Amino acid sequence: MTKYNELQVAANKDKKRVGRGISAGGGKTAGRGTKGQGARTGKKLGVMFQGGQNGLKSAIPKGRGFKSLRTPAQVVYLDRLNELKGSVDNFKLYEAGLIATPFHTVKVILRGELTAKITTLKVQAASKSVIEAVKKAGGAFEKTPTPIPKSAKEAEAADKN
């Protein structure tokens, strides 16, 4: 007795050939019924078709405007950087819990004052006032590209070295 998981079954069935005579099973009207718009050749009815009336199509409100697919930058306020020292980048901000992920754009915005000793601020964007405040505090701003997460293969290779 054959088991269910050992059955030899083709993955793709052949397309049913209709309109090839009565004995073939799909003869004469070829599954289209008799007469009417659906029985005619060359007529493909859309999913919103309602027998020629514009009922549902015109009743549904149209989606206006534009929806951007770009993810907005993660905002970090300048006074939150007082908790950090040295060189500050996306990963340091992530470890401090100031951003949700290190792999998205980060923008630093002015709020409060900078008292911490930050040597270099390496993020994707900062307001002009923040750049001035960092320079005034004795540091420097460096615009860096958004970090890309390593693939599993890259991470594995790095672990072996």
pLDDT in tens, 76-88: 999 999 988 889 9
**61 within domain boundaries:** no
Is 119 part of any domain? yes
Within a domain: 84: yes
Is the residue at 65 inside a domain? no
Number of domains the chain is built from: 1
CATH code of the domain containing 93 = 3.100.10.10
Domain span holding position 101: 74-143
pLDDT, tens digit, 9 for 90 and up, residues 104-161: 999 999 998 888 888 999 999 999 999 999 999 899 999 999 999 888 888 888 777 7
> DSSP per residue over the chain, as a string?
---GGG----SSPPPP--SS-GGGSS-TTTTS-SSSGGGSTT----TT--TT--HHHHHSPP--S----SPPPEEEEGGGGGG--EEEEHHHHHHTTSSS-TTS-EEEE--S---S-EEEEEESEE-HHHHHHHHHTT-EEEE-PPP-PPPHHHHHHHHH-
